[in-house]
Amino acid sequence: MNIIKNSIHHVRSRIPMTKSLYVITGVFLSLLISSCGEKENSNQAATVEQQSYEWKLVTSWPKNFPGLGLAPEKFAEYVNQMSNGRLTVKVFGAGEIVPGLEVFDAVSQGTVQMGHSGAYYWKGKIPASPIFAAMPFGMTGSEFNAWITYGGGQELWEEMYKPFGILPMLGGSSGAQFAGWFNKEINSIEDLKGLKMRLPGIGGEILERAGGVPVTIVGGEIFSSLQSGALDASEWVGPYNDLSFGFHQVAKYYYSTIWHEPGTTLEFLINEKAFNALPEDLQHIVTLATKAANQSTFDEYNARNHNALTTLINEHNVEVKALPQDVIDELRTITAEVINEQIAADENFAKVWKSYSEFLTSIGKYHQLTLLEYYKNRG
Amino acid sequence: MNIIKNSIHHVRSRIPMTKSLYVITGVFLSLLISSCGEKENSNQAATVEQQSYEWKLVTSWPKNFPGLGLAPEKFAEYVNQMSNGRLTVKVFGAGEIVPGLEVFDAVSQGTVQMGHSGAYYWKGKIPASPIFAAMPFGMTGSEFNAWITYGGGQELWEEMYKPFGILPMLGGSSGAQFAGWFNKEINSIEDLKGLKMRLPGIGGEILERAGGVPVTIVGGEIFSSLQSGALDASEWVGPYNDLSFGFHQVAKYYYSTIWHEPGTTLEFLINEKAFNALPEDLQHIVTLATKAANQSTFDEYNARNHNALTTLINEHNVEVKALPQDVIDELRTITAEVINEQIAADENFAKVWKSYSEFLTSIGKYHQLTLLEYYKNRG
């Protein structure tokens, strides 16, 4: 036995092994000792550590949908690679396990360990949640990443989701979203009156106050609704996603003005109990894989959007237009009204908005001074 | 023995173990069998897998320097956490093992496994290298990330560094750098004549052609040179780093115009042999930890720069100014000349520039149409 024990000791001292290796060491040492008629306690407390984990991740998107749907696929790949298969994550499209808008509940209840979605879908449960996805005239993707990571945003986000047993993490930005596809030209505020436009969430509320008729339908119905005239206009995402839906075939104008979702950022939802049950190294792998998937998705949109717009203009003769200044000013004024009402209505909204808006005001001025001027001067 | 073998089999079938665990299994199985007087071959081929690794990472910055110097510290922390200590990375400041500008050679020669630096320092060896750090009137940090990751940049970068046995990876952007600190007001091109300014690299070359006198000194000498009048002006990084150096105490004006380094991005340098010697899961951990450190560093600058500028203005009464339009136009014209000469002089520069400039032209137009307008409209 001494030879063996020394050998074990030698291996241990030369190699700072992982906890998992120690466990295996423990198990085998125990078996070995038993088989040779000696007795020693194995480290039972550590047996959890050697487990492998199979997680399910449900999404609000069709499986492998460009951009949005690739973020969780990247995440799953990163986790699998870094954990050497100790944690595998299987990604399910909307409707495969639960419908797209039941992702939050499924993660909260522990039906699945993870989800990938957009925070504004949970407005009914958490009035402050849209702040963690996109706000009209709010932060861009880069600004939002900075607020979440170094501006206090992550702490507030966790506080809001904590009562539901969910740990939220950044899930990739789709970049600044275009105002959308229009079959009616918008030359003044008057043209918004009666405009039937697919525009969900707070954007739709603002349009309604400006005299329009917001409609909420899923992405798959936009094309036929524009074609039939049931809709006068619709937003979707931006050139990369819009090109693949073929909206240029059924709409005259593409309005490139950014206002309702200037930096839509998706989210990973993690069941807190499942996360806490992981050994520490796998917790870090999950956390950093979300960070890497967040960056990859933003990079992907940044790289694809401008090429897709070039294709729309050069190959499909799309006419790109900007909303007139009085329309923009009106939408911004109404946005402030709507936000003020939400501040008055919900304490948590007010709390999160305070942090968000202070950061936005400061970084907004900074980017007017620096990047705005730079985009002009670069020529 | 049968009980033991069955137990082993049971553990194996229930848990898809890492290669490392198999090795430990093998070692113990072997020891066990020997001790009990039976014979079976251990899996010797796999013994490499159980190694742990201790890497050294040298940088071009003072240890723990805000922003720049924290990127490699974050990287080291991420790797340590995710690998559960199987790979530890020790970070050394400039001069601790090699001087700051010998990082490339140290990694290339295998003196250390990794480095953290800026690609423009290697212009003497690789004329195209500055394209991978910052180019006057070039890409911003977000645009550069997109080009590297989804626009063909990474492949070209690897091609350029391959002859030196180095694998390059994104190492964090410091955001758009300010024109800098001036004790002479710049009202026209004439004011550049004879201007003694700390401005290294290609920016300095452009200043020289515009009639200025570029000076290259290290960061630690800028303060005293501005104070003594040896320098009329100096760039450094941006508000976050500039505030900590106290330049507002020795310079009258802070020019916020972005031109010479619109999105300076740092780099991780990895010795290829050391990387290839890692098991696959650790290779993925290294790669994704650089990705996460890249994003964290950019987020940190985005979050800190605007607050630092507010402090400079409100607490230190700094006067922020913009370069006049004719100066900007002149600098942009000279930039194009310098780049054209470099295209003519070096085939690899021409090759990398083709990819970079095509991406820049396309994404530049896109951001003029979208973000420029948005920064104006946000109010």
| Beta carbons of A128 and A351 less than 8 angstroms apart | yes
CB contact under 8 A, A19 and B84: yes
How is residue B317 written in tokens? 């009464």
- Asked if the Cβ–Cβ distance from B280 to A84 is below 8 Å, we say yes
Judged by CB atoms closer than 8 Å, whether chains meet at B149 and A285 is answered as no
Q: How far apart are CA B168 and CA B164, in angstroms?
A: 11
Residues of A in contact with B29 (CB under 8 A): 28
Nearest to A371 among B15, B176, B309 (CB): B176
Residues of chain A with Cβ-Cβ distance to B362 below 8 Å are 306-307, 310
Q: Are B199 and B219 in contact (CB under 8 A)?
A: no
Cα separations in angstroms, A69 against A41, A199, A222, B241:
48, 21, 19, 38
- A269 strand-pairing partners: A115, A168
The 3-state secondary structure of B73-113, one letter per residue: HHHHHHHHHHCCCCEEEEEECCCCCCCHHHHHHHHHCCCCC
With pLDDT > 90 as the criterion, what percentage of chain A qualifies? Answer: 83
| CB distance B109 to A308 below 8 Å | no
- Asked if residues A258 and A137 have their Cβ atoms less than 8 Å apart, the reply is no
Chain A residues in contact with B367 by the CB 8 A cut-off are 306, 375
| Model pLDDT for residues A191-220, shown as the tens digit of each residue | 999 999 999 889 999 999 999 999 988 888
pLDDT in tens, A265-281: 999 999 999 999 999 99
Name the token pair of A140: 């861009």
pLDDT value at residue A50? 59
pLDDT of A379: 81
Structure token pair of residue B272: 């290829």
SS3 content of chain B, % helix, strand, coil (to 5): 55, 15, 30
DSSP A314-364: HTT--EEE---HHHHHHHHHHHHHHHHHHHHH-HHHHHHHHHHHHHHHHHH
What per-residue string of b and e applies to B187-212 under the rule 16 or more CB within 10 Å gives b?
A: eeeebbeebbbbbbbbbbbbbebbeb
Pairing of strands B178-182, B166-173: unpaired
Q: Are strands A233-234 and A196-198 parallel, antiparallel or unpaired?
A: parallel
**Edge-to-edge strands of the sheet including A166-173?**
A87-92, A53-59, A114-117, A265-271, A166-173
Q: How far is A201 from A135, CA to CA, in rounded Å? A: 10
The minimal CB distance from A295 to the residues B32, B295, B372 is found for: B295
Residue owning tokens 């917790």? A283
> Which residue of B309, B376, B377 is in closest CB contact with A366?
B309
pLDDT in tens, chain B (379 residues): 222 222 223 323 333 333 333 333 333 333 333 333 333 333 333 333 458 999 999 999 999 898 899 999 999 999 999 999 999 999 999 999 999 999 999 999 999 999 999 999 999 999 999 999 999 999 999 999 999 999 999 999 999 999 999 999 999 999 999 999 999 999 999 999 999 999 988 999 999 999 999 998 888 899 999 999 999 999 999 999 999 999 999 999 999 999 999 999 999 999 999 999 999 999 999 999 999 999 999 999 999 999 999 999 999 999 999 999 999 999 999 999 999 999 999 999 999 999 999 999 999 999 999 999 999 999 8
**Burial status of residue B319 (CB atoms within 10 A of its CB: 0-12, 13-18, 19 or more):** middle
User: What is the ipTM, given to two decimal places?
Assistant: 0.87
Beta strands in chain B (DSSP E): 53-59, 87-92, 114-117, 166-173, 178-182, 196-198, 213-215, 233-234, 253-258, 265-271, 319-321
- List alpha helices for chain A, DSSP H: 2-14, 19-35, 70-82, 103-109, 141-150, 153-161, 201-209, 222-228, 239-245, 272-276, 280-314, 325-345, 347-367, 373-377
Contact B107, B169 (CB under 8 A): no
**Candidate from B18, B147, B377 with C-beta closest to A86:** B18
Please write the tens of the pLDDT for every residue from A55-89.
999 999 999 898 899 999 999 999 999 999 999 99
Chain B interface, mutation test: which of A3, A33, A34, A35, most B Cβ atoms within 10 Å? A35
Q: Which domains does chain B have, with CATH numbers?
A: 2-48 (no CATH), 51-175+264-302 (3.40.190.170)
Tokens 């964090």 correspond to: B172
Interface contact flag, A288 B292, Cβ < 8 Å: yes
Question: Which residues in chain B have their CB less than 8 angstroms from residue A322's CB?
Answer: 373
- The string of pLDDT tens digits covering residues A342-378 is 999 999 999 999 999 999 999 999 999 999 999 999 9
Q: Taking the alpha carbons of B54, B58, B63, B68 in that order, is the dihedral positive or negative?
A: negative
Dihedral angle at the C-alpha atoms of B5, B9, B11, B14, nearest 10 degrees? -160
- Chain B contact set for A365 (CB, 8 A): 306
- B371: exposed, middle or buried (Cβ count in 10 Å: 0-12, 13-18, 19+): buried
Please judge whether B29 and A27 are an interchain contact, meaning their C-beta atoms are less than 8 angstroms apart.
no
Please state, in angstroms and rounded to a whole number, the distance separating the CA atoms of residues A51 and A31: 18
Residue A202 near residue A135 (C-beta atoms within 8 A): yes
Q: Is the pLDDT of residue A35 over 60?
A: no
Map residue B67 onto helix, strand or coil.
coil
Phi, psi of B73 (to 5 degrees): -65, -45
Residue B44: partners with Cβ closer than 8 Å, 6 or more residues away: none
User: Which pLDDT band, with edges at 50, 70 and 90, does A316 fall under?
Assistant: very high
pLDDT at B218: 81
Whether residue A372 and residue B369 make contact (CB cut-off 8 A), yes or no, is: no
What average pLDDT is seen over chain A?
A: 88
Which two three-digit tokens encode residue A192?
């918004």
Bigger pLDDT: B40 vs A94 = A94
Q: Are B318 and B248 in contact (CB under 8 A)?
A: yes
Amino acid present at A53? Y
Picking from B148, B265, B287, B291 by the largest number of A CB atoms within 10 A of its own CB, the best residue to mutate is B291
Is the CB of residue A166 less than 8 Å from the CB of residue A269? yes
Kindly list the residues from chain A whose CB atom is less than 8 angstroms away from the CB atom of residue B15.
Answer: 50-52
d(CA B137, CA B337): 13
Q: Which of A27, A307, A378 sits opposite B364 (nearest CB)?
A: A378
Phi, psi of A318 (to 5 degrees): -70, 135
The pair of three-digit structure tokens given for residue B147, joined into one six-digit string: 């080009």
- Tokens (6 digits) for B274: 């050391």
Q: How far is A178 from chain B (nearest CA, A)?
A: 8
Chain B interface disruption, residue of A3, A306, A323, most B CBs within 10 A = A306
Per the CB < 8 A criterion, the answer to whether A192 and A207 are in contact is yes
Residues of B in contact with A368 (CB under 8 A): 375-376
Query: Best mutation site among A142, A300, A321 for testing chain B: the one with the most B CBs within 10 Å?
Result: A142
